[in-house]
Amino acid sequence: MFSYTFQWNQALARLPQMLEGALVTMQVAIMSMVLGILIAIILTGFRLSGNKFLNAVAVTWIEIARNTPALFQIYMAHFGVASFGIHFSPFMSLLIGITFNNAGYLSENFRGALKAIPETQTRSARSLGMPPIMAFRTVVLPQMLRISFLPMTNQMVWAVLMTSLGVTVSMNADLYGVTQDLNALTFRTFELFAIAGVIFYIIVKVINLGARLIAARLFRY
């Protein structure tokens, strides 16, 4: 029935290259998360600012990020802006696309988390003589991060998996890109992508485990 002969050794011989790709994948994911969190905090600030223009900027960002394919977002960051003469490297385009997506999702998470913290917490902090920013930083922010910790972990997982979309903008340094190139070279399609799948799986499992350990340390209440 099948005439395919598995040749795992040939594929496994490429494992070091694939692991190097996995490092690039992690690099993109981590950078996109750090930037995404920072931008999400700013977008959340825009939404709560009461300023119509800032609010519109944030809403537009969040609506596009959450309601269009991640592939579209990465495409636009590469081929879309190229139409206007702006050229990003595949790495940059992938990073920008995923960061855009992260920021949109995380901002909604942060906003939801803020809503879950009673206004009286801020009032209490202010009545102890804290200026607004101090009250936010010491009382509201820690609680917000706890509430949005699980959604942030999910988004980190998504960021890792979204890197695979980089191949569509000629990204070939990440795990998926490396695998695709090796496939073109050796035609060990099943073996190579199976190995890539296992590596993705392990990365995600490690992220989830790490998140659980961090949560257990940080959130003891």
Residues that bind another protein (CB under 8 A): 118, 120-121, 123-131, 134, 138-139, 142-143, 146, 219-221
In the complex, minimum distance from the CB of residue 48 to another protein, in angstroms, rounded to a whole number: 19
The residue among 34 and 134 lying less far from another protein, judged by its C-beta, is 134
In the complex, minimum distance from the CB of residue 221 to another protein, in angstroms, rounded to a whole number: 4
How far is residue 83 from each of residues 65, 79, 124, 167, 172, measured CA to CA in Å?
Answer: 21, 7, 53, 20, 22
The residue among 114 and 162 lying less far from another protein, judged by its C-beta, is 114
In the complex, minimum distance from the CB of residue 37 to another protein, in angstroms, rounded to a whole number: 19
In the complex, minimum distance from the CB of residue 7 to another protein, in angstroms, rounded to a whole number: 55
Question: What amino acid is encoded at 211 in this protein?
Answer: A
Q: Helix, strand, or coil here: 14?
A: coil
Reference 161, options 38, 28, 17; nearest CA is 28
Q: How far apart are the first and last CA of the chain?
A: 59
In the complex, minimum distance from the CB of residue 147 to another protein, in angstroms, rounded to a whole number: 10
CA atoms of 191 and 15, how far apart (whole Å): 11
The residue among 124 and 170 lying less far from another protein, judged by its C-beta, is 124
Report residue 113 CA to chain centroid gap: 19
The residue among 87 and 123 lying less far from another protein, judged by its C-beta, is 123
CA atoms of 12 and 192, how far apart (whole Å): 8
The residue among 12 and 117 lying less far from another protein, judged by its C-beta, is 117
Question: Helix, strand, coil % (nearest 5) of the chain?
Answer: 85, 0, 15
In the complex, minimum distance from the CB of residue 18 to another protein, in angstroms, rounded to a whole number: 41
The residue among 147 and 167 lying less far from another protein, judged by its C-beta, is 147
Q: What is the DSSP string of 74-99?
A: HHIIIIIHHTTT----HHHHHHHHHH
Q: Identify whether the C-beta of residue 102 lies closer than 8 Å to the C-beta of residue 148.
A: no
Tokens 């905090």 belong to 41
